[in-house]
Homo-oligomer: A and B are copies of this chain.
């Protein structure tokens, strides 16, 4: 059985995402994580265009990865220079790797309007550049940039470019949907046609997500005989992103029965996705297929009821296979049985008929009436159960806080918080300034606690949401604050509700910190 290889370009294409900026250390950490997971190839970067990437290859020349091959990326030679004088190609040789990837132009429009050379000159560039690399014993992946757009515009020319790469000795040709504008049936027809006409045994595919088709197009490639999928973790990438490997991998392994080098690590998928989002400093999307917080979350009463009878009823795969878990969302619509099920899911043993269950159910109902919404704040819900069902020692006692916002005539704005609390018998009274009143309070709270609970340095806040509940009351309206926090293992969300936004934020902040402290205590 053939093996499909996974080629990750998070470090190169992924780092083009608006808002992502990776340091050398970040890149090394991600590469090591991908190696542990077992992807076949890791595109490390473009050493010629980015000095940081040169250092990355120097690092991995000394510290070999266990399983993955690291690959540098570059382009065909500059039109005005012979390959042997081309700094871009030379940087690929210097990267000291077994494999290299170069891209070349397939679309005549790009040759004429962007490179501004003749069509035959471009063919020549492709041949000469690949020959240069092959002579230096490199295995060469050739990215046929704009392959599908090029073929649609001028099929004969597109074929010629790919043929040139094939004849020059490219080890694999990758069909790229660079602008992400191709539809599945186009990918199917064009790949099939080209594979046949060139007599290729296999090929690779590199798709962008501008039509939300990147994953579908990649898999349709596999149906046609493609043996390599290029993509990124969480689908990061320029514009609308690249094919999301976190989606593609479990489909290949579990739905299509393909052989993958990383199959054995599948249950590590959710953690990989979180880890990379953490290093890229991107919010982990709740609705990510397979690994999102909501991917196996059931809300409607009918669905919850059916999933309890048989999970297959509303789940396309077992969540454990990809390292995720099933969740029942507690909402106002839910009865006491959902509450008990939910408690069980969170590893609390709660008898439906017990006095405790009744008490907690009434408490949750009362809080939801006040505007709390535990379906979006599982962290706070877990804390609530913990406090009601187990003995929890208090981490600290608040003696009071003050927050002061001052705007002066010179437009200067100051936010300051003072906080007084007791930890065991220590009195801690401290203060902090912040970017706003909530930030000042957040800082003051952490400052007061960190000496006693250094584990708090592992967590940070990743999301802060404010929702006005009864907007018609204007500035006197009740607000609901949701705070999402994250450490290297998980995300949790906590809630606060009050007419006073500072008080609501305070509740959510305290829950967030207590959640972390509780799980560290275990």
Contact = CB atoms under 8 A, between A and B. Distances in A.
Interface of A: 16-19, 21, 49, 109-110, 113-114, 178-181, 183-185, 209-213, 215-217, 219-220, 223, 235, 238-241, 244, 247, 251, 255-256, 281-283, 285-290, 292-301, 303, 305-306, 309-310, 312-317, 329, 373, 375-376, 398-409, 413, 415, 434-439, 441-442, 460-468, 471-477, 479, 483-484, 498-503, 505-506, 509
7 contacts: A18-B329, A209-B287, A210-B316, A282-B472, A401-B406, A463-B471, A466-B467
Contacts of A400: 406-409
A306 B460 contact: no
A54 to B, nearest CB: 15
Nearest to A75: B302
Contacts of A464: 468, 471, 473-475, 477
A442 B314 contact: no
A481 to B, nearest CB: 9
Contacts of A210: 289-290, 295, 316
A226 B249 CA distance: 30
Contacts of A467: 281, 466
A21 B298 CA distance: 15
B413 A407 contact: no
Contacts of A19: 286, 375-376
Contacts of A303: 238
Contacts of A281: 465, 467, 472
Contact of A468 (B289, B435, B465): B465
A402 B413 contact: no
B499 A439 contact: yes
Give the one of A251, A306, A313 with max B CB within 10 A.
A313
A435 B500 contact: yes
A179 B307 CA distance: 12
A436 B211 contact: no
Contacts of A297: 18, 238-239
A436 B184 contact: no
Contacts of A438: 475, 501
Give the one of A18, A178, A473 with max B CB within 10 A.
A18
B500 A241 contact: no
A210 B282 CA distance: 21
Contacts of A476: 434-436, 439, 442
A240 B442 CA distance: 32
Nearest to A314: B179
B299 A113 contact: no
A33 B102 CA distance: 48
Given A183-B219, A436-B500, A501-B438, A212 B289 contact: yes
B300 A499 contact: no
A287 B239 contact: yes
A288 B473 CA distance: 22
B255 A500 contact: no
Nearest to A327: B18
A521 to B, nearest CB: 23
A479 B415 CA distance: 15
